[in-house]
Amino acid sequence: MTGPLADLTVVELTVHRAGPFAGSLLSDLGAEVIKIERPNVGDPARSQGPGPELKSGYFIANNRNKQSVELDLKTDAGTEAALELLADADAFVENFGYGVAEKLGLGYDAVREVNEDIVYASVKGYGETGPLREKKGLDLILQAEAGIMSVTGPEGGDPVKVGQAIGDLTAGMFATIALLARLHEREQVDEADAEAFTGKFDVGLFDAIASVMNEYVTFHSMTGEVPGPQGTTHQSICPYGLFEAADGHFVTGVPSDERWGDLVDLLGREELREYDTNDERMAERERVREILHEEFREEPVDHWLEALTDAGFPNGPLNDLTDVVDHEQTAARGLAVDHEDPDAGEITLPGHPVNFPDFEPSIRSPAPRLGEHTEEVFADVAGDQTTLDEWADAGAFGD
């Protein structure tokens, strides 16, 4: 293994997306990630969406570079085997419902008994504190309840969900950041204070979405206003949004008042010059956008992309998924990776979002088949054949 996390061993008990996404970010950076799955069933994501049996594209995207082991955690032998596995791990990631890990014998206290240095990440819908901690959560539910759906959608229209599981993915990212922070903290703890180290933390999808609401929260405290769907506009900057050209759409914005005159010069619409501050443009936002639309409709998209780029304004086309996958920037940054999966064949996987000058995150191994590494991993964990046979006979690995 290579990469900045090549000496890290992570065990995950995860399903669907939030927890698995955290594990995939770590595994792409070189960590050894071992995924515990329910015998014969596995992560439900295996059966959701197109792909081979028990290996959907949804599962493949979030579980590359991992090993899969089957454990029946409803048996004492399964729990014992899991704890032996965790005894030598650096971190544990779980995103089961509130209290489930504890019922399965893998709560923080139980794991810490066998590994006092463990960093323990718990990802939940609502976190592990607060009045809603036991409530079931899905990304859709949390998008609505934590507010982001209320500001998403066409202006004046009904709220809609973000087109991707923003709660799952951001919770997975925040969990990854916190896990690395805990590992760093662990390295700073003096040996005399090791017993006082608490490696546990939790993050909720509610927390993640509420956090990315960002300046909306602060604006509300200042003005008391409750924003509705924003369409493609910005809550505090004008112009900023999607515009119609003669043959399609593009996006652009003016980053500062100092550049406003340059845009007026480019467009030749002198009536815009009076709106020389962002406050004035926000106050007359509809009029400003109306004039811009009138002018932008006169020429095709490519004309405006070239003109705006030459003038130093940020801009871009409205791309669909095919455009993004085939984009020259995507290729240059390794963001769409051609991959030969032994079960799915030739596919494309999302690349790692961070660029390292001296290390290229890579897909070292395909997403595992269910239980593919059970024998290999636990032959080593058990330490001897007798223990391994006893676990197997007691149902640790399922039927």
Give the tens place of pLDDT for each residue, 272-281. 999 999 999 9
Q: In what order do the strands lie in the sheet with 91-94?
A: 66-70, 32-37, 9-13, 91-94, 119-124, 200-204
Q: How far apart are CA 188 and CA 194, in angstroms?
A: 10
Contact 38, 61 (CB under 8 A): no
**Would you say residue 1 has pLDDT above 60?**
no
* CATH of span 9-212+332-393: 3.40.50.10540
Give me the phi and psi of 341, to 5 degrees please: -95, 135
- The model's pLDDT over 55-95, given as tens digits with 9 standing for 90+, comes to 999 999 999 999 999 999 999 999 999 999 999 999 999 99
User: Catalytic annotation on 276?
Assistant: no
Radius of gyration for the alpha carbons in the chain, expressed in angstroms and rounded:
25
Integer Cα distance of 25 and 199 in angstroms: 20
Q: Mean pLDDT of all residues in the chain?
A: 95
Residue pair 254/240 in contact by the 8 Å Cβ criterion: yes
Decide if 147 contacts 210 (C-beta within 8 A): yes
> Per-residue confidence at 197, pLDDT binned at 50, 70, 90?
confident
Mean pLDDT across the stretch 5-27? 97
Using 50, 70 and 90 to split pLDDT, how confident is the model at 188? Answer: confident
CATH topology of 9-212+332-393 equal to that of 240-318?
A: no
Task: List the domain boundaries for the chain.
Answer: 9-212+332-393, 240-318
State the catalytic residue, choosing from 139, 168, 207, 341. 168
Classify residue 220 by burial, with Cβ atoms within 10 Å: 0-12, 13-18, 19+.
middle
Percent of the chain with pLDDT over 90: 93
Q: What is the mean pLDDT of residues 321-339?
A: 96
Token pair, residue 66, equals 């991992």
What percent of the chain shows pLDDT beyond 70?
Answer: 99
CATH number of 240-318: 3.30.1540.10
Q: Collapsing DSSP states into helix, strand and coil, what is residue 275?
A: coil
CB 82 within 8 A of CB 396: no
pLDDT value of position 119: 97
Angle between helices 166-188 and 18-28 (to 10 degrees): 50
